[in-house]
Amino acid sequence: MSDDKLIPPSPDAETYARTAVATANAVEIFDREDPFALFADWLTEAKKKEPNDANAVALATADASGLPDVRMVLLKDVDVDGFVFYTNLESGKGGQLAENPQAALCFHWKSLRRQVRVRGAVEPVSAEEADAYFASRARDSRIGAWASKQSRPLESRFALEKSVAREAARFGLGEVPRPPHWSGFRIRPLSLEFWRDRPFRLHDRMFFDRPDLGSTWTVSRLYP
């Protein structure tokens, strides 16, 4: 049994009236034809409101057996080609994407009471694109990418610190290139859903989908 005090109660009418996010001035979602432009508008609003990491997103993958997995990553690029994140290719997610190159994303901006879901096929970004992003990272983060065997067992915090010191010494004052085991992926969406909180769980849901990447979007509303 869950502890009643641990889980917040369902809102009553007064709470809904007090906490509802004003929709009057919000970007209207039901006359939009381009989901990427709508996403950009929502992320722009989220950046103003979220206390940190407005670009944080839950990334769901599945291994060859179909067993799902999910974890947070940071969105690093988005345009009509898709949604890009970076990671260690030998991590749990890296292995799963090698076996099953499909993924889903779920953004949740609590300050806006909004959610965006994305599903699609996953492609590696080009080496040039990954190099450019890697070069923009702080030097210590670049060294960390060499030092971390992401998702594999780590004997102690000290072992990680030794690995970082070893890599730092190896590069000295020289350039820190992108490791071969570190790159990015682009999720090329076949569907996106925009969800906006409304009182009494009667939320707005706007669903965009297309049968393949070359087709135009079909837009529909969904029951909450």
Please report, in range form, the residues annotated as the binding site.
71-76, 86-87, 93, 115, 133, 137, 141, 150-151, 195, 201-203, 205
Establish whether 201 is a catalytic residue. yes
Q: Which of 72, 127, 135, 213 binds ligand FMN (CB under 6 A)?
A: 72
Q: Tell me which residues in 122-161 interact with ligand FMN (CB under 6 A).
A: 150-151
Question: How many chain residues interact with ligand FMN (CB under 6 A)?
Answer: 16
- Nearer to ligand FMN by Cβ, of 38 and 105: the residue is 105
Q: 103-108: which pairs have CB atoms within 8 A and are 24 or more residues apart?
A: 103/59, 103/60, 103/61, 103/185, 103/187, 104/59, 104/60, 105/57, 105/58, 105/59, 105/60, 105/75, 105/187, 106/57, 106/58, 106/60, 107/43, 107/46, 107/56, 107/57, 107/58, 107/75, 108/58
With CB under 6 A as the contact rule, which of the stretches 20-28, 70-78, 118-126, 211-219 interacts with ligand FMN? 70-78
With CB under 6 A as the contact rule, which of the stretches 87-95, 120-128, 129-137, 161-169 interacts with ligand FMN? 87-95
CA–CA dist 220, 15 (Å, integer): 30
Q: Which of 69, 79, 99, 161 binds ligand FMN (CB under 6 A)?
A: 69
Burial, 102: exposed, middle or buried (Cβ in 10 Å; 0-12, 13-18, 19+)?
Answer: middle
Chain residue whose CB lies nearest ligand FMN:
92
Q: Which of 33, 34, 53, 161 binds ligand FMN (CB under 6 A)?
A: 53
Amino acid at 1: M
Question: Which residue is associated with the tokens 């889903």?
Answer: 104
How many CB atoms sit inside 10 A of residue 92's CB? 16
Which of 139, 152, 166, 201 is labelled catalytic? 201
- Nearer to ligand FMN by Cβ, of 72 and 159: the residue is 72
Whose CA is closest to 180, among 86, 91, 85, 88? 88
Q: What is the DSSP letter of 200?
A: G
- 178 touches ligand FMN (CB under 6 A): no
CA angle, 182 then 186 then 189, to 5°:
160
- Nearer to ligand FMN by Cβ, of 29 and 105: the residue is 105
CA angle, 185 then 106 then 101, to 5°:
35
- Nearer to ligand FMN by Cβ, of 109 and 217: the residue is 109
- Nearer to ligand FMN by Cβ, of 69 and 161: the residue is 69
Q: Which residues are catalytic?
A: 201
Residues that bind ligand FMN (CB under 6 A): 53, 56, 69, 71-74, 85-88, 91-93, 150-151
